[in-house]
Amino acid sequence: MIVTTKAIVISSLRYAEADLIVSCFTEVDGMKSYMLRNILKSKKGKLRTSFFQPLSQLELIANHKNKGTLEYIKEAKIVYPYQTLHSDVLKSSLVMFCSEILKSTIKEEEPNPQLFQFLSYAFQWLDLHETYANFHILFLLKLSQYLGFYPDDSNVDYPYFNIQEGSFEKQFNDHFSEEGPEVEALKQFFNQDFSTFSEIKLQKQTRTATLNLLLNYYHYHSQGFKTPKSLAVLQQLFN
């Protein structure tokens, strides 16, 4: 079936000498993977390699057979040209981190328009703003809501955060209970959005510990989750 859909590029992998396998999160059909034949050699085709950088926001005309096989893109165009996301070194590290997170957590070939709108807005926000040191922490927290395991913050004043239960607790229960500066930092991100979170000020060690806390939380709640390879680079640049 030929579809026209917005899409966010998640990853691309070189295949053979001139082909790319590109994974995209589409607005109409969720995650899709496409075979782009000879794109690395072609200079006159409708598809350009530059279109398929991680997190690029595109409009696709594609053939979706929906049989779990590689699909085919007929046409593509950029619908939101980023100004800084792929050229700024710090933002580029966040791009790689976020794309790895999404590749590890979004598996379904089914529409999730609320998640799509969240991602589209988040990356456009990052592109346009210059204060974003804690972006990845808020991004992970908000993403968990769309993935179905947002923490229960009804007892957010309690000192312990149970990463298995995803809730705050008054007393230490087992080895899943976490406490300390990273838990107190995490509490600050609840009820925040991208227009207000820049007011949160964290020391370098606390930011790293809070990020690791959220990644451990993802390990318990997202099947097959893998720690991003870009994490080390990200932490080095933001520290």
Kindly state the tokens that stand for 65.
């057979």
Q: List Cα–Cα distances, 160 to 26, 141, 157, 190, in angstroms.
A: 38, 17, 9, 15
Classify residue 121 by its DSSP letter: H
Tell me the Ramachandran region of residue 68: left when phi exceeds 0, alpha when psi lies from -120 to 50, beta otherwise: left
Query: Residue 30 CB: number of other CB atoms within 10 A?
Result: 17
**What's the confidence (pLDDT) of residue 68?**
80
pTM of the model: 0.95
**What's the confidence (pLDDT) of residue 16?**
87
Q: Which of 66-70, 99-103, 148-152, 160-164 is least confident?
A: 66-70
Choose the CATH number for 2-80 among 3.20.20.70, 3.90.76.10, 3.40.50.2000, 2.40.50.140: 2.40.50.140
Q: What is the mean pLDDT of residues 96-113?
A: 95
For residue 31, the SS3 value is strand
Residue 44: pLDDT over 80: no
In tens, the pLDDT along 135-149 reads: 999 999 999 999 999
Structural domain spans, the chain: 2-80, 89-238
* pLDDT cut 90: percent of the chain above it: 85
Q: What is the mean pLDDT of the chain?
A: 94
Residue 232: pLDDT over 80: yes
Residue 239: pLDDT over 70: no
Q: What is the mean pLDDT of residues 24-39?
A: 95
Whether residue 26 contacts residue 6, with contact meaning beta carbons closer than 8 Å, is answered with: yes
* pLDDT cut 70: percent of the chain above it: 99
What is the pLDDT confidence band of residue 98, given thresholds at 50, 70 and 90?
Answer: very high
C-alpha distance across the termini of the chain, in Å: 48
Choose the CATH number for 89-238 among 1.20.1440.120, 3.90.1150.10, 2.40.37.10, 3.30.930.10: 1.20.1440.120
